[in-house]
Amino acid sequence: MGISAPRAFADRYVEIINKGEYSKLRDLFAADALFLAPHGQEFRGRDEIGAFYEKFLGDITPTIRIASYVEQGNDCVYELEAIAKDVPTYILGAIDHATLDADGKVVRFTVFTK
């Protein structure tokens, strides 16, 4: 029994961010994906989502890890702890909810931040 598609996504998401390869995040999303970002922001499609992440993460350059993880079917929800430029120890920074399609691409992504 292998790793599920939702867990593979979550692990790859963390790996890409920790490597600082933010432009690769767009490849995790379906062409018509919907991203409900913090503060009421909404992005549609992998290009808009990718551009958001390149700017946002490029400004804060975090190191993240999954603090807790649950999944059901094609959905996963996980808490992320992060350290960043001005944060020397890991703190809970976000809760993410991803829904994947049959190809393992994210079609809907919601991020809640503290």
The sheet with strand 87-100 has its strands ordered as: 42-44, 29-36, 106-113, 87-100, 75-84, 63-72
**pLDDT of amino acid 106:** 98
Give this prediction's pTM.
0.94
**Ranges of each domain in the chain:** 5-113
- CA distance linking residue 26 with residue 32, whole number of Å: 11
Which CATH code fits 5-113? 3.10.450.50
- Residue 107 confidence (pLDDT) above 90: yes
pLDDT in tens, 36-59: 999 899 999 999 999 999 999 988
Q: Residues for the chain: how many in total?
A: 114
* pLDDT higher than 80, residue 1: no
What's the whole-number mean pLDDT along residues 103-110? 98
Confidence of residue 98 (pLDDT cuts 50, 70, 90): very high
CA distances from 38 to 52, 64, 96, 110 (A): 11, 17, 10, 8
